[in-house]
Chains A and B, each alone.
Chain A
């Protein structure tokens, strides 16, 4: 047997203003020797496949491994070049088995479904009889093109994704069985009409994962996967889907997929993300008598590809005339340089935020005093010191805003105290972060509230501005099956 292995992976937030270009792959992973280097999330499966293939005496051919950190739409020419390099290898070597590690939610300019495109072109070269196996992140968009062209698709079951090597071994075993004629895999998927974040370390999702594993290897069911879906992508196939592979029995695969979709629907209340909106969160602060309260501006988390300059919170704070609020970190290297030139104590009118993309919201014009400027600042994420460049404290008559020269989420309240802001006097601290802020802010807050703010990575599944899929999904509608 001849096995060809390859990796082409990135998760695309189509709402992010930062395109994913060649630089992003070069910075993360771009090599034809991934199995001779330490593995990452996406190349770890290739290590497993090479080892298992060689143990069986197969000829293993390694093609490209290209992976990039999540960001915006991949540049067309960059995707096409990587794809074609892998396809050329397939043409040259004509493998019996192709195993690929991909993300499943990679969008390139002109290609809403990079994985489907890759599979279809690989199938065209290899012909109907050969085996194509695909390992995906569960935050994928599962498409008909992928299902029609791959022989076997398997998702990681866990989020956090700790099980990529384990799933890789399962995929190899299924691919070997199929290639050796021991099984005839058929795949069927079922649309759950749901879109949410599913954390598998806690129930009910933890139990759901157990149930998937229990069903495998019984009654002709080879594999059960759940596609969680990746919410921040404007593509037609965004959403949760179940995927079942059965041995030769399409009806069995379809019935089992439907059964697991029903099971997910039945646990939906346990998966609901019940965060207040900005108005409700600020109401809580205004009614409280024990401060500071930390409010997470989840929609503008730089760690998820957001610009870190959205103004939704700031606009509402200004409108309400609230004071004793600290909010950050706004990414604006130009404004930082302007403040450095103006110097500490300078009183100036600045235009803050709303500068990077439509999801940044409208810029806000404010009269501020430059209260502090500090270079080479850092904040701690766990044990790791994370840089934020030069930080500036702008005081807009009691609204304390931190601006930085590097784009980063706000991991720690030390950013405020290092600039001299007395956070014990603040009623609200509002870090731009989804969850990494939690430990450091929880320690010094009377209360922590995650807020479903709008933005590039809003956790509010009901306001993501999809244009290519319908709105018939939970929780946007309470019953999409009615």
Chain B
């Protein structure tokens, strides 16, 4: 058997004005030898697949490994360049199996469904007998093109995505069974007609994920995935879909997809996102008696394409005169360079935040001390390392601010502690992230508060100004199934 491995990974916020081009990939990952360089989350599956395939005596070929931090639309030029690198490799190597790690919500200029486009072209080259497997982020747009072209699609089940490696193992086993003719996978999905976020740490989603895991590998059912959908990508297929893979039995796959999809729909009120606004959240933090309270600035999550430099929360923190507050992470490569030039111990007046878009809010001028500088920082995301770039700790009279030069969301308390910030002495920690922070921060926080902060990402899913996605979804309308007999 010959296996070709590739990763082309980007989540596209089509409402963001920042185009993702070649530099955005070069800034994060752009390599022809993804399993020969240290893994990042999206190439971790490739490392696992190579190890398992080589253990079976298969031949493995690396193709492209590329990812960029989410922002707006991917340029047509860089998407086509990346796609054609992979297609050229596929055409030259003619593998029996292609395993891909992609996001599932990559939109390029002219391509609403990059994953579907790439899958279809690979299938065209390799013909019907090759096995094409895809591991994707649940914040994807699951399309008919993807499902037609691929044999196997598996989403991460957890949000925070702590199970990228576990799902890579699952997908390898499914792929090997199919390639070695032990199974004949068939995929079917169910449209939940919902657009929302589904953190899996709450009891309802926890039970749902555990339910999926328990149902797999039984009675001909091979795999279950919930495609949460990515609310900030405006495509026809945006929304939540349940995906099931069965062994040779399309009816069984459809029945399972329907059953789990309807189960999610029934839980919707318990899953409704109802986060407090900034003043309410800070009131709760100030009233707390156990510290540190962790607050998520969800409106400015770089992982969803936001600039990670909005000032809405810090302005309120400063206006209240709150102390012993740590906030992260403001993306500002220029200020990082200025701090490196000034050196640790420098006191300076800096202009912080508000620099990239209207969603950034207004800049804040602050007198700060440069308390620490650290290069080549890394955050743990589950078991996986995620690069952070150069971090700087700025202290403004009891308000501790972390800035960096590589745009990323906050994933782990180590981003503070590696700079020397004592989190045990903090009353509140504010992190720019929607939910991935939860895996790392929940263990140190007596209380976690998601804030419905303004910015690039709204938590009000009913009002997202879609132009391509039909409005027939909950919570925009109360019952999008009114026209059916559900």
Contact = CB atoms under 8 A, between A and B. Distances in A.
Interface of A: 17-24, 72-73, 75-78, 109, 332-334, 337-338, 340-343, 346, 348-351, 354-358, 360, 362-363, 365
A351 B343 CA distance: 29
Interface residues of B, number: 34
B357 interface: yes
Contacts of A24: 341
Given A351-B358, A360-B351, A21 B19 contact: no
B19 A76 contact: no
Contact of B351 (A78, A109, A333, A356): A356
Main secondary structure of the interface of A (DSSP, over half): mixed
B477 interface: no
Main secondary structure of the interface of B (DSSP, over half): mixed
Contact of A348 (B19, B338, B349, B350): B19
B354 A75 contact: no
A342 B19 CA distance: 5
B19 A338 contact: yes
Nearest to A77: B345
B342 interface: yes
B52 interface: no
B82 to A, nearest CB: 14
Given A22-B343, A341-B22, A360-B351, A334 B17 contact: no
Nearest to B407: A334
A334 B21 contact: no
B76 to A, nearest CB: 9
Interface string B350-388: 110011111010110100000000000000000000000
Contacts, number: 106
Contacts of B363: 354-355, 363
Given A355-B363, A357-B351, A17 B23 contact: no
Given A341-B19, A349-B357, A17 B341 contact: no
B476 interface: no
B162 interface: no
B348 A334 contact: no
Interface of B: 17-24, 75, 77, 332-334, 338, 340-343, 345-351, 354-358, 360, 362-363, 365
A76 B351 contact: no
B341 A76 contact: no
B341 A357 contact: no
B342 A21 contact: yes
Contacts of A360: 351
B343 A340 contact: no
Contacts of A23: 340-341, 343
20 contacts: A17-B351, A18-B342, A19-B338, A19-B342, A21-B342, A21-B343, A21-B346, A75-B345, A76-B346, A333-B334, A334-B333, A334-B334, A341-B22, A341-B23, A342-B19, A343-B19, A351-B356, A355-B351, A357-B351, A362-B362
Given A342-B75, A357-B365, A76 B17 contact: no
Given A22-B343, A342-B18, A348-B19, 20 more contacts: A17-B338, A18-B338, A18-B342, A20-B342, A23-B341, A73-B348, A75-B345, A75-B346, A109-B347, A334-B355, A340-B23, A341-B22, A342-B75, A343-B21, A348-B17, A348-B18, A357-B351, A357-B365, A360-B351, A363-B362
Contacts of B348: 17, 19, 72-73
B346 A341 contact: no
